[in-house]
């Protein structure tokens, strides 16, 4: 896992708030990995609750959710899933949460895809809370999300819809333990699926 932190206040070029954690310079990952849904433009501004106006859930940069049948075999290639991965990897945690929640709402209760998406949503919410300095809330959300992610992997498999779940869980646990040390691990898609 490689990433670089930008620790200077961001200017209008990317519209990222200059402070996120109690007056500290914003920390934003500069991903070294690929974009998985490059045809979708990233939002002009990262939403952080309490740091600016709440974006409408369907702002011009937010595409309408695409229908999904809930089949885990099609999740890995679904544009909303891939866009959520891009948003998360770029530090747009609230926006990634919204993208995955649209898919989560389309899935039957107590299925692997639903647990996986809910785990991603909770981990993303934890990353957002950590970036805001709400460490206790971040740890609680992370514990719930990581447990859901681990529940979808049945040994000997370690990947689910492209994510090496054990490796991501280990990296996220480390992030939560050292919450002020930087951004959470990137989601890298590869390996067998689902």
**3-state class (DSSP) for residue 24:** strand
**Of the segments 108-112, 114-118, 158-162, 189-193, which one has the largest average pLDDT value?**
114-118
Sign of the CA dihedral running 186, 80, 93, 37:
positive
DSSP for 116-175 reads HHHHHHHHHHHHHHHHTT-HHHHHHHHHHHHHHHHHT--TT--EETTEEHHHHHHHHHHH
Residue 67 CA to chain centroid, in angstroms? Answer: 20
Mean pLDDT calculated for residue range 45-53: 85
Q: Please report the domains of the chain, with CATH numbers, ordered by start residue.
A: 3-52+72-181 (1.10.3450.10)
**CB neighbour class for 23 (10 Å; exposed up to 12, middle 13-18, buried from 19):** exposed
pLDDT at 177: 86
pLDDT at 11: 26
Task: Find out whether 142 and 176 touch, Cβ atoms under 8 Å.
Answer: yes
Task: Find out whether 70 and 106 touch, Cβ atoms under 8 Å.
Answer: yes
Has residue 75 got a pLDDT over 70?
yes
Contacting residues for 11 by C-beta, under 8 A, at least 6 apart: none
- The model's pLDDT over 108-141, given as tens digits with 9 standing for 90+, comes to 988 999 999 999 999 999 999 998 989 999 999 9
Mean pLDDT of the chain: 80
Has residue 155 got a pLDDT over 50?
yes
Q: Which residue has the higher pLDDT, 115 or 156?
A: 115
Mean pLDDT calculated for residue range 98-102: 94
**What percent of the chain has pLDDT above 90?**
53
């Amino acid at each position: 896992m490689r990433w670089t932190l930008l620790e200077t206040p961001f200017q209008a070029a990317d519209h990222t708030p200059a402070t996120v954690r109690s007056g500290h310079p914003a920390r934003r990952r500069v991903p070294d990995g690929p974009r998985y849904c490059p045809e979708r433009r990233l939002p002009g501004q990262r939403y952080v609750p309490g740091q600016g106006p709440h974006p409408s859930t369907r702002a011009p940069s937010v595409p309408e959710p695409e229908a999904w049948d809930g089949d885990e075999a099609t999740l890995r290639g679904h544009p909303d899933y891939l866009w959520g991965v891009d948003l998360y990897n770029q530090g747009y945690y609230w926006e990634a949460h919204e993208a995955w929640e649209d898919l989560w709402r389309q899935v039957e209760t107590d299925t692997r895809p639903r647990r996986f998406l809910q785990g991603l949503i909770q981990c993303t919410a934890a990353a957002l809370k950590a970036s805001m300095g709400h460490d206790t809330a971040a740890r609680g959300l992370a514990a719930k999300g990581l447990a859901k992610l681990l529940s979808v992997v049945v040994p000997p498999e370690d990947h689910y819809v492209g994510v090496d779940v054990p490796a991501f869980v280990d990296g996220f646990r480390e992030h939560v333990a050292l919450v002020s040390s930087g951004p959470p691990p990137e989601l890298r898609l590869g390996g067998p699926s689902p």
